[in-house]
Structure 1
Amino acid sequence: MSHKNGDQGLLMHWAFDEGSGTSVLESVSQIRDDIQYVFNQAEFNEHSGPQWRQGVTGSGLLFDGYSTSVVHTVVNEEKKNGGQEFLSALSIGVWVAPRTYDWGYEGKLTAIVNRHNMERKQGYLLGMFRHGSWSFQVGLEGGEWKELWAPEGYELSKNEWSYVNAVFDGTQGEIKLFLNGTEIASADVPGGSRIAEAVNTELLIGKNNHSSLLAEVFNLQMFSGIMDELKIYNRGLSKDEVAASYREVLDSAHGGVRPPLKYDDIKLDRTPLLADRHRPQYHVSPPAHWMNEPHAPIYFDGQYHLFYQHNPLGPFFYHIHWGHWVSSDLVHWRDLPVALSPEKDQLAPDGIWSGSAAYDADGLPALFFTAGNDSASPNQSVALARSTYPQDGDPDLITWIKHPEPLIVQKQGMGAFGDFRDPFVWKDEEGWYALVGSGIEGEGGAALAFASQDMLNWTYKGPFFAADIQKYPYLGPIWELPVFLPLGVDKHGVSKYLLLVSPVGAGADVEVFYWIGQLDKNELSFIPDQEEPQLIDVGDFHFTGPSGMVDPKTGRNIVFTIAQGDRTSELEYQSGWAHNGGLPLSVYLREDGRLGIEPIQELQSLRGEKRLSLRDKSLAEANVLLKDVQGDMLEIQVELEPGNAGQLGIKVRCTPDGEEETLLYYDFNEAKLVIDRTKTTLHPGEKCRGIQGGKLELLGENLKLHIYLDRSMVEAYANGLKSLTTRVYPSRKDALGLELWGDGKSLVKSMEIWDMQSIW
């Protein structure tokens, strides 16, 4: 927008009309300010500048929430213009569309624009706080720090444009806030007050001058969303001037109404990450930033819904929401808006933690989640959210309304007090049942059982199952994420069930352990067939965070997991993402009574060109043919007859000279499935190292491996009995080769390899 007569006293103006590039013009001084952004220089991706979007006039700058900011060097001209040692008046006007809110760590504001030092009581700060509250704060000459907060009801809405103005007028002795052209708050300051200059402090847009540091890498209190038309004046604007500047934007570009904002313009965009050479392409993942476990799978109206623990601010563990995907085939997923966010309420202001989904009495999906409320004791309870489907008929189930009260609040004597989370709920003809992860004081992890007739009022039934921590110390003091699935009847006609848990706490081995056993419906308790738990996956902390469902379409039991990223915070910062889902697994009771584990058949729809098909070759003959097959997105099926081999397997992600490679093999003497990552990468910052593996009894069968390579993901399924999930981050781009490997005369009974296609 051009500078008009009403712009007298204009110190600085950023129109954000560039629409591309890595700098933005401050038009009064004609200085081009650098935009800090993680992918300006990308290590694993193509270089790409910050994201620009439609603004209120022209373009606006999209701030990613963890790396985007603008640094402006205040020049002498600006100081002379009223920014001498003290400012007697200051006005700020800016259009903002927040994408998400910060949790409010250490009580600091997410900065919209600031040049301040609160400790020294200098400068000014305009910013947001928890749940959309916002404030203008100034340091006054004489050492007072003055804060003016927007009153309740005037929070800044997510995914909508708001026009924010803050006015300090020391001569008049007042400080004011305006929202969308209307005054909403004012406070007196002593007449003749002046703002103390924040010496040796940069003017920052989108980043707090004194942001908190998380994991020694991530600056918190950074703005997430779009900003446009930022103006700073060295005089106090009148309410008429503020109203006029608001109306000007509405009338000039938007027919007199508040500027609309398309969700697609502000949502997290996965496009910049698609070229990342380590990011999986056919595994489900958030569009960007952080996820931990996927959970609450449910089928409704022809679609599968899957939710996930998500920090929309950046690729770090912080303020957790429920992300949401939908799919018609369990393979190709669409990103939907965040389903559940922490809100300013007494239910879950501090986090929406893991849970599950079940059907209500009308057959509609209901979400059960762990409500985080740090002002309550304990700070975790079980809560409910219902879909607005009966009102809006939206098959994507985008909108959810939380039930205002917790459903289940932990009482003393109900498990380990203070650890009470991750409800797993199911329904049968008699009512609803819930398992909640906890422990038994002084004893060990436990899943606690609850029952309800109406899904709202729950009765505690006691521990569903608890193991002997003296005997199995690796099962830890607390269990998270219990999952309970029916396996059908065994060959003796006995109904069998599967219980999964994830131990945490001192001494716990954080893996997915399971038991097969029977349900005592009267006691609502579980009786395992064997006391000792088993592992589904032997990849050592890469297959975690289980959730599960009975697929009503096919009757299968399907298990979802998080595939841990296995990286440092520094590399997650540079990459812009952390973690993804594992492939969905079908789990079932085999004829021999063991648990069968297979990737779902629908994944075959991703097969592209068949790269190899061979039968009855020696390892050497097969390796000649394998020389022509390269890739980091492949499906491999191979059956190997060991002959006299003690160890037998396949190398993947090999460089031509063998400098980098990952070896997956079976040790017949030890009956172990093993991954050797000692040569996986030369990158000094990556963590993928060492040798991992675990027990697998083949009982004389040939070794049958079903392997999925997807960039940094390696998932191997052995003989339908065990999986091994791991991560590989080769430093070299030519680490794409394959080679069969063994220490004896072995026969390749069969081998088939396909290219795999991206689901995005």
Structure 2
Amino acid sequence: MKKKYLLIGLLLIGCKSKQDPKPDPGPDPGSNTASKIMEFNFNETSGQSTTEAKSNSNFVIEGPADSAERIAGLEGNALRVNGYYGWAYGNASVSYPTKNISVSGWIAPAVFPVQRKNQDPITEHTVAAVFSNLNTSNSSGVSFGINQHGRVIAQFKIGNDIRQIISDEEVKLREWSFIVVNIDAEKGSAKLYLNGTEIESSSFAAGAITWDKSATIFIGKESKVKTLAGFDTNALTGAVDLVSVWDKMLTADEIQLNYKKQQIKVPDLRIPTARFADDTNKPKYHLMPSAAWTNESHGMIYLDGKYHIFSQRNINGPYLEHINWGHYVSEDLVNWEELKQALWPQPGFDEVGIWSGHAVVSGGKPYLFYTGVDKNKAGIGLATAVSPYIDWTKNASPIITSAPAGVSHADFRDPFVFNESGSWYMMIGTGLRSGTARGGLFLYKALNDDFQQWTYQGTMLEGNPASDGTGDFWEMPVYYNFGSKSILLINKLPNANALYWTGNFSNGKFVKDNGTPERLDVINQLLSPTIQQDKDGNLTAIGIIPDGVTSDKHKEQGWANIFSLPRVWTLVNNKIYQKPHPNLTVLRKGSQKFTNVSFSTGVSDVLNGAKGTQYEIEATVNPGDATKVGFILNKGVSNGEETIIYYDYTTQNFVVNRSNSSKLTGVPLGNLATSYIMPKQDIKWRIFVDASVIEVFIDDQLAFATRVFPSKGSDAIELYAQGGTAVAKDLTIYNIEGEGTVSTQKMAKEHKEANFSVFPNPSDSVFNIQFPDLIQQTVVYAAVVDITGAVVRIIASNTDAHNNSVQWDGYYDNGQKAPRGVYLIKGIINNEIFQTKVIVK
């Protein structure tokens, strides 16, 4: 049989057993062999720079001091890029070839980069580049990476013509992929490769590659400047490794060998705990993503013993754009794991964003309903999954293409699906624009059990903002039938607020009990709740509690917005009562107890120096003759910071006084107050403090939340009274040691180890690597590595049951005899790995 030899660097040496026929010499390697003119390995263990190996040039890693992050890569470390910082940039003295070139690199995206909804035309691609040195004025140079939909893309200039090649295939999220572009300017062609396989080719007029030798080189970001709200939007979020620029094109065999020689493991893209180790304002026991942006929660379901909840998610940074669906699971509604995003924008009707929606379980199968957005309109999409419900399959086209024709409206989004009297319905938020601008809900009815076909039923409910205060747009609607009564909740805009009516669903309409809706929270801070019965039948709700900080503050802290604790809803006297979910008691870790504590104006430290940043207060307080009664939280003894939460019996208001809550910039300091009549009698308070979030529950009926951002050390807890003396009849402070939302790492796909032997070893010349289990022809790929980690010889050879060994003859690829010492031979055969040390005598 003939043996096939691959060319990587220099001519490869094959097996020299007596049974082997004379090898096919193949093409002359001299002028056809590509060499690296640039190489980035990112193997530094720390520091805010990396070195380009060929020129020894220093490249800066963008970001604040000590922010550079590295993870385990293919051969040593890889560079972690975080969307709006973390890329490398600099210059190297390089002679760029004009006839042809290859650029290669490994990329592991956590998410695809941002295409800005309003600023970027749909035809303009964002490039999260493994390599980019474009002159942004005249487009000379090369930019190569993945675009906003995970397609491999290269942009380059031939003569005066700007060229672009894009694949149809999407790279895998949260896995390593090897991407290569070959540009043959002489013949007018370009090719893209993914994991060793050609995936796209393009032809153009022949010419010469145009370069700007002084252009800055970027690794992990394209050269163009694209920003939104102060954030760079065109960088990779994920990891990059082993980036090389070659002076000629790589052959298909060389590309295959460079791919096959790596032992590929799943990259660890979890957010390192060290990133937020000094952030005293990041909550620890509230559900929130590990980093970056979240807002509206939606689609909580219970399936196979686990709760799933989804949310709006921009993983590229703490700002609102290019929305994915975040995904979290829990067994108890308290301790959560963050999974890979369930949905993300892809070419078609949802190419700009996966906006809010809902989820239901029918026939034991989960269904996600979402708003898919392109540049022109929104449609309603559908996705399903099988156990373990991590990878979701979307319908290729929307199940509802657009809002009903002929109805004047503004926007069309946020489906909520419910079953009433055996039929499935979907309501969708909108703003009606015929006559008075007002909020409304479009209603659809399912025609089949697989939710593929729907018919429009008209509007389920319309607002009257002049009389009911419900604004001119409704989003994130919620419907639930308690039995004798149902509730319909909407989030109104402008001045977002969660409001609800009681009533009944009849003939496609919601018939309200009262014209004016009730506030969900007594002080408005929680928005967009999602609901689900827990395993014990408790109707449980979790909403979003926005930060209320500036974009600069979001950029500084690296995360945006959190979710509420789970709350149990009951309907009493046509009002939603809210109380903490009973499972929250598992968070308690030790306590301080007080009884019959009197407190009044000017009296301090009645709680014996109590302090904390993560805790729960449970107290029964009698107001006595005081006019204001409550708590001072996050008190700073030296800096004067404090947040006062109290009830004012004179004005009959619940009040959150944040005027002195923080000395930090960019955080909310406005006071909050809402009228509510309370009798002057015992009040049962439950207060949860978790760094920058405070949730308050009153008498297992009322709830409200607020956000405050105290300076480090502002953690004292005191009682508050004005105008008289009040008594805390019993008060317990429970310490809470929340671990935060856990980011789940996908299990690595380990290669099976091959059965092999090496002989002789040690040796002064030939080493034989034999594979006794071979039953069919296959190619062996191997690399010989010296003690410094440098690859000194590449081996590739056909083998079969009769010729089941390959050899290293003790020479380097450059013809040099290997000096005495220890070497490592590692390779792959039939997708099985082998690795062995050999000693040259």
- Structure 1 length-normalised TM: 0.86
Matched, 1:706 2:686: yes
Matched, 1:261 2:266: yes
Residue correspondence of structure 1 range 229-248 to structure 2 within 5 A: 229-233=242-246, 235-239=247-251, 243-244=253-254, 246-248=256-258
- Give the letter for the 1:502 counterpart: N
Picking from 462, 465, 474, the partner of 1:466 is 462
- Give the letter for the 2:519 counterpart: L
Q: Is the 8 A contact 2:34 2:249 kept in 1?
A: no
Q: Distance in 1 between matches of 2:392 and 2:193?
A: 31
Cα 1:538–1:596 shift into 2, 3 Å: closer
Q: Is the 8 A contact 1:175 1:187 kept in 2?
A: yes
Once the two structures are superposed, residues 450-482 of structure 1 have per-residue CA deviations (whole angstroms, 9 ceiling, x without a partner) of 33352423233322222222223x411110011
SS of the residue corresponding to residue 609 of structure 2 reads: coil
Q: Which 5+ residue runs of structure 1 have no aligned equivalent?
A: 42-48, 489-494
Q: Distance in 2 between matches of 1:150 and 1:690?
A: 50
Once the two structures are superposed, residues 355-379 of structure 1 have per-residue CA deviations (whole angstroms, 9 ceiling, x without a partner) of 112222x23222221222335xxx2
Residue correspondence of structure 1 range 594-673 to structure 2 within 5 A: 594-615=575-596, 617-619=598-600, 623-657=604-638, 659-673=640-654
- Give the letter for the 1:279 counterpart: K
Once the two structures are superposed, residues 129-153 of structure 1 have per-residue CA deviations (whole angstroms, 9 ceiling, x without a partner) of 1322232222345x33222x13424
- Give the letter for the 2:379 counterpart: S
Residue correspondence of structure 1 range 660-699 to structure 2 within 5 A: 660-683=641-664, 685-699=665-679
What is the aligned partner in structure 2 of residue 227 from structure 1? 240
Cα 1:34–1:625 shift into 2, 3 Å: same
Residue correspondence of structure 1 range 179-328 to structure 2 within 5 A: 179-187=194-202, 193-197=208-212, 199=214, 201-215=215-229, 217-233=230-246, 235-239=247-251, 243-244=253-254, 246-248=256-258, 250-251=260-261, 253-254=262-263, 259-261=264-266, 265-268=268-271, 272-273=275-276, 275-328=278-331
What is the aligned partner in structure 1 of residue 176 from structure 2? 161
Q: Which 5+ residue runs of structure 2 have no aligned equivalent?
A: 1-7, 11-28, 741-841
Q: Distance in 1 between matches of 2:420 and 2:462?
A: 24
Q: Distance in 2 between matches of 1:275 and 1:220?
A: 26
What is the aligned partner in structure 2 of residue 509 from structure 1? 495
Q: Is the 8 A contact 1:122 1:198 kept in 2?
A: no
Cα 1:198–1:543 shift into 2, 3 Å: farther
Cα 1:181–1:300 shift into 2, 3 Å: closer
Cα 1:487–1:269 shift into 2, 3 Å: farther
- Give the letter for the 2:166 counterpart: A
Matched, 1:404 2:396: yes
Q: Is the 8 A contact 1:422 1:436 kept in 2?
A: yes
What is the aligned partner in structure 2 of residue 519 from structure 1? 504
Shift of 1:598: 0.9
Q: Distance in 2 between matches of 1:269 and 1:205?
A: 21
- Give the letter for the 1:483 counterpart: V
Matched, 1:496 2:485: yes
SS of the residue corresponding to residue 604 of structure 1 reads: helix
Q: Distance in 1 between matches of 2:655 and 2:393?
A: 46
Once the two structures are superposed, residues 156-187 of structure 1 have per-residue CA deviations (whole angstroms, 9 ceiling, x without a partner) of 33233222222345455554433334444455
Q: Is the 8 A contact 2:598 2:727 kept in 1?
A: yes
Once the two structures are superposed, residues 595-625 of structure 1 have per-residue CA deviations (whole angstroms, 9 ceiling, x without a partner) of 3111111111101110233235344899444
Matched, 1:575 2:557: yes
What is the aligned partner in structure 1 of residue 162 from structure 2? 145
- Give the letter for the 1:587 counterpart: W
Q: Distance in 2 between matches of 1:470 and 1:425?
A: 29
Cα 1:451–1:135 shift into 2, 3 Å: closer
Picking from 471, 478, 483, the partner of 1:483 is 478
Q: Distance in 1 between matches of 2:40 and 2:309?
A: 41
Shift of 1:704: 3.0
Matched, 1:332 2:346: no
State which drifts further: 452-461 or 365-374.
452-461
Q: Distance in 2 between matches of 1:503 and 1:320?
A: 21
Shift of 1:274: 5.4
Shift of 1:222: 0.3
- Structure 2 length-normalised TM: 0.78
State which drifts further: 750-759 or 696-705.
696-705
SS of the residue corresponding to residue 653 of structure 1 reads: strand
Q: Distance in 1 between matches of 2:369 and 2:200?
A: 39
Cα 1:194–1:303 shift into 2, 3 Å: closer
Once the two structures are superposed, residues 363-406 of structure 1 have per-residue CA deviations (whole angstroms, 9 ceiling, x without a partner) of 3222221222335xxx22222222223xxxx3xx2122223332
Q: Distance in 2 between matches of 1:649 and 1:54?
A: 51
Q: Is the 8 A contact 1:641 1:749 kept in 2?
A: yes
Cα 1:274–1:446 shift into 2, 3 Å: farther
Matched, 1:562 2:565: no
Q: Is the 8 A contact 2:102 2:250 kept in 1?
A: no
Residue correspondence of structure 1 range 399-478 to structure 2 within 5 A: 399-412=391-404, 416-428=408-420, 430-441=422-433, 442-443=435-436, 444-455=438-449, 456=451, 457-472=453-468, 474-478=469-473
Once the two structures are superposed, residues 527-553 of structure 1 have per-residue CA deviations (whole angstroms, 9 ceiling, x without a partner) of 22221122122444x3112222233x2
Q: Distance in 2 between matches of 1:118 and 1:531?
A: 58
What is the aligned partner in structure 1 of residue 813 from structure 2? none
SS of the residue corresponding to residue 497 of structure 2 reads: coil
Q: Give the aligned CA root-mean-square deviation in angstroms.
A: 2.6
Q: Distance in 2 between matches of 1:185 and 1:745?
A: 78
Shift of 1:66: 2.1
Once the two structures are superposed, residues 724-757 of structure 1 have per-residue CA deviations (whole angstroms, 9 ceiling, x without a partner) of 2111111243444434332322222222111112
What is the aligned partner in structure 1 of residue 147 from structure 2? 129
Q: Is the 8 A contact 2:429 2:440 kept in 1?
A: yes
Once the two structures are superposed, residues 38-71 of structure 1 have per-residue CA deviations (whole angstroms, 9 ceiling, x without a partner) of 5x45xxxxxxx43322322222222222211101
Q: Distance in 2 between matches of 1:430 and 1:398?
A: 29
What is the aligned partner in structure 2 of residue 716 from structure 1? 696
Q: Distance in 1 between matches of 2:50 and 2:80?
A: 12
State which drifts further: 558-567 or 364-373.
364-373
What is the aligned partner in structure 2 of residue 44 from structure 1? none
Picking from 88, 92, 95, the partner of 1:70 is 88
Residue correspondence of structure 1 range 23-172 to structure 2 within 5 A: 23-38=49-64, 40-41=65-66, 49-74=67-92, 78-79=93-94, 82-83=95-96, 87=98, 89-105=100-116, 106=120, 107=124, 108-141=126-159, 143-147=160-164, 149-153=165-169, 155-171=170-186
Question: If each structure's helix is expressed as a fraction of its own residues, which one has the higher value?
Answer: 1
Q: Is the 8 A contact 1:214 1:220 kept in 2?
A: yes
Once the two structures are superposed, residues 69-127 of structure 1 have per-residue CA deviations (whole angstroms, 9 ceiling, x without a partner) of 101233xxx24xx25xx855543221222222124332242222111124323222113
Structure of larger gyration radius = 2
Q: Distance in 2 between matches of 1:358 and 1:171?
A: 57
Q: Is the 8 A contact 1:324 1:335 kept in 2?
A: yes
Q: Distance in 2 between matches of 1:404 and 1:90?
A: 37
Q: Distance in 2 between matches of 1:169 and 1:596?
A: 69
SS of the residue corresponding to residue 485 of structure 1 reads: strand
Shift of 1:722: 2.6
What is the aligned partner in structure 1 of residue 723 from structure 2? 743
Q: Is the 8 A contact 1:358 1:427 kept in 2?
A: no
Residue correspondence of structure 1 range 524-543 to structure 2 within 5 A: 524-540=508-524, 542-543=525-526
